[in-house]
Amino acid sequence: MIERSAQGVRVPALGFGTSRMVGDECRNGVEHALALGYRHIDTAQGYGNEREVGEGLARSGVPRDEVWLTTKLKPEWFGAADAAVKTEASLQALGVDYVDLLLLHWPNENVPLEETFAALKPLVDHGRVRHLGVSNFTPTMTRAARSLAPVLVNQVEYHPYLHQRFLLDVMHDLDMLLTAYCPLAQGEVVSDPVIMEIADAHGKTPAQVALRWLLQQPRVTAIPKAASAKHREANLGALDFNLREDEMVALFDLESERRLVNPTFAPTWERT
């Protein structure tokens, strides 16, 4: 499994996302992904599946220290009274002594970041949370967070139709990683003529090409959701080939402002 590094920390570049997966689908999916060789599992309090993720991890038999495990703190729990308590509840649900990465799931402008990071610091100091990060933060918000704590990751929507060039510049400046969710644009890439042509040239699928485009970017990791065993296995096919420079450019040229995840509580996205 290829890795990406920032701040001296190495993270498996291709992960298994569990959004909207619950029950046996989630439990079995995590176990199967780990059996295939995935070593990066992503969940969140908001997904309602931390217990199943933990059960899948336990059933897999893969040693805990071989798996990069990420969960996310709900924004309504960023306050000093809740942040540590709710994170401990996640650890209990997951059945683990620590998570490798705890992300602040969405910005909450009603709670100062200083308050949240201060509340989480004891968990970091005691090894219950190995690293802190953010999710769905704008470039400006990311800089503010990094000035307050050694945040490692910003997890955001990123695929060929939504550029993140400004955020990627920030990732480079701050020695951080960008984790791409919705990396296949909720399936839109599979019928894109440009991506299909490149896929044919490599004997790959469009999904594998879109993932490879992300994984060839130096600061990027990706966490595709794959509910089926077939797709979990197929996604690993993004690891064994390389796109030419002109093919990378062709995918960058697809970039627009097609944002698929934009709830009412999202921040104002920056275009510069």
Sign of the CA dihedral running 42, 94, 97, 75: positive
Give Cβ neighbours of residue 230 (< 8 Å, ≥ 6 apart): none
158 carries an active-site annotation: no
Q: Name the token pair of 113.
A: 């970041």
How many residues are there in the chain?
A: 272
8 A C-beta contact, residue 222 and residue 13: yes
H helices of the chain, in order, are 23-36, 50-60, 83-94, 113-125, 139-148, 165-174, 193-202, 206-215, 229-235, 245-252
Distance (Å, rounded) from C-alpha 104 to C-alpha 192? 33
Which residue in the list 47, 158, 161, 181 is annotated as catalytic? 47
**Secondary structure (DSSP) of 157-191:** E-BTTB--HHHHHHHHHHT-EEEEESTTGGGGGGG
Burial (Cβ within 10 Å: 0-12, 13-18, ≥19) of residue 233: middle
CA 114 to chain centre: 23
Pairing of strands 3-6, 9-12: antiparallel
Report d(CA 1, CA 121) in Å as an integer: 31
Report the C-alpha gap between 258 and 247 in whole angstroms. Answer: 21
Q: Which of the residues are catalytic?
A: 47
